[in-house]
Each structure stands twice: as structure tokens, then as C-alpha cells.
Amino acid sequence: MLEVKNLCKHFGGIKAVDGATFTVEKGAITALIGPNGAGKTTAFNCISRTAAPTSGEVWLDGERIDHLRPHKITAKGLSRTFQISRNLGDMTVIENVIVQSRVDGLRGLFRPAMSQEEKDKAMSILDFLGITRIAHEDGHNLSYGQKKLMDLAALLMSDPKIILLDEPAGGVNPSLMEEIVGHIRALNDKGLTVLIVEHNMDLIMRLSHKVVVMAHGKVICAGTPDVVRKDPHVLDAYLGGVLEDEAA
């Protein structure tokens, strides 16, 4: 479904992403992992076009999208979350979710700010995530974990066929982390394709069908969790470093 070819993003002399190439198969949960500074989030930014790639190509369902604006990419069926919630604090949860609805162009100027259809759809998504109780709570009153769930709800309003999740369980308590994992599995069971960046290796190895490993802006390994776990390049660049830190 998603194909990244020789993707590069340079900031002056710094090569944050340096010729990364990988694929995300339709209906799979694919993880993008690597140490801090590996280029994972920058790759996400280039794929979703929140940052313009220096070079390379991004293809979605056989169509090249790296030249499109972010809202056009969303309309093609690719949506993403961010590490830090970008909610609008003075708006309620349901308003924050509906903001992510598909845009109808000029026709949208002649309809209510929130249609009943959008309200019903948003409440259905909040119900799926178990957070209807906070539907009318202001965004600035939410806990960190609630913001993570709201971001996931907003993501689903655009009817995506592939979602990019940037550390969806980062910073949340273990109970909520398992809840989020359950939601991701349930969405995948319904046919949604998932690409996820996450530092929790236990979560990644349990959740993913495929793992892509980046280091220094390059892809150094890609395969099943079992294959990646045993790869010597991965152990040296990422997993080994983590184990050494824990031992120290």
C-alpha cells in the first residue's frame, strides 16, 4: 500500500533521512524503529508532507504523493498522529474530532459548522475508543492519555485506509498502553493498514507483523519481529545499545 523509495531529508549538512527505502503491505501493522535521531519522525513528516523531502519518492496505492499538500494526501487516505498532541484547547473533544472531517471545498461554507451526521460519526468513534464521557470536555482539561485517545479519534474521522502513528503509547501508563494496543489491533482487524513509530520494544514485537529498522537516516533491516530481533546490525545499532544501557 505504501512504498518509500530513496527518501532523503537534509537540514543543511545534516542528513536526517538518507536514502531510506521500505514498503508497508496492505492490511499489515508495520513498525518503524531505531535509536533517537535515526530519522523515524522525519520520515513520517516527509511521507505525510508536513515536511518536504529533499529527494526520493512516496507512493500510496500505486500513486505518487510526495508532491501533494498534506490535506490532499489525507484525502487520498493517509492520516497521521504526532508525538505531541496538537489539539485545540479551547474546543471540546467532539469539536476537535470533527475538525478532522473530510473537506467538501466551497460547499462546506454553506453548511453548519458541525452537521448531525458528523456528530453521530464522531460519537461512534469516541464510543469505540471508550471516551464518550469526555466528548464535551475542553481540550485543555484533558490528561495526557486522554489527548492521545482524542488524537486517535480525530485521525479516524477522515476515513483513512492507512494511519501513521507516532509514539501512540509514549508517556502513558501501562494500563492505557494496553488499551491503545487493543484499539490498534481492532482497527487492523477491520482492514486498516498501520505504520507505527514506537520506542517500547515489547509492544512493537507483540503488535507488529513487520519491523523496519532505521539508523543514521538509513534502513538497516526489515522483516518479521523474530528476524529483526536476531539481526546483528540491529543488535549493534539499537537493541544492543538499549541492553547495554540497562545493564549499566
pLDDT band with cut points at 50, 70 and 90 for residue 219: very high
Is 154 a member of any domain? no
What's the burial of 14, exposed, middle or buried (CB within 10 Å: 0-12/13-18/19+)? exposed
**What is the average pLDDT across 59-69?**
95
Residue 135, domain member (yes or no): no
In a domain, 207, yes or no: yes
Q: How confident is the model at residue 104 (pLDDT cuts 50, 70, 90)?
A: low
Q: How confident is the model at residue 243 (pLDDT cuts 50, 70, 90)?
A: very low
pLDDT at position 46 is 96
Q: Is the dihedral of CA 154, 156, 157, 161 positive or negative?
A: positive
Domain membership flag for residue 236: yes
3 state SS for 188-209: HHCCCEEEEECCCHHHHHHHCC
Per-residue pLDDT, 36: 86
Q: Tell me, yes or no, whether 152 lies in a domain.
A: no
CATH of the domain at 232: 3.40.50.300
Does 248 score more than 60 pLDDT?
A: no
Mean pLDDT calculated for residue range 73-101: 85
12 inside domain: yes
> Residue 106 domain-assigned?
no
Residue 225 has pLDDT above 70, yes or no: yes
Instruction: Determine the pLDDT at residue 200.
Output: 85
More confident residue, 60 or 200: 60
First to last CA, the chain: 42
Query: pLDDT category, 166, cuts 50, 70, 90?
Result: very high
State yes or no: pLDDT of 113 exceeds 70. no
Residue 196: which of 35, 50, 83 has the closest Cα?
A: 83
Residue range(s) defining the domain that contains residue 185? 2-88+160-247
> Is residue 117 in some structural domain?
no
Say yes or no to pLDDT of 95 above 60: yes
pLDDT at position 239: 54
Domain count, the chain: 1
Task: Tell me the per-residue pLDDT of 7-47, one tens digit each, with 9 for 90 and over.
Answer: 999 998 899 999 999 999 999 999 999 888 899 999 999 99
Q: Say what percent of the chain tops pLDDT 90.
A: 61
> Would you place residue 247 in the very low, low, confident or very high pLDDT band (cuts 50, 70, 90)?
very low
| pLDDT higher than 50, residue 246 | no
pTM for this entry: 0.87
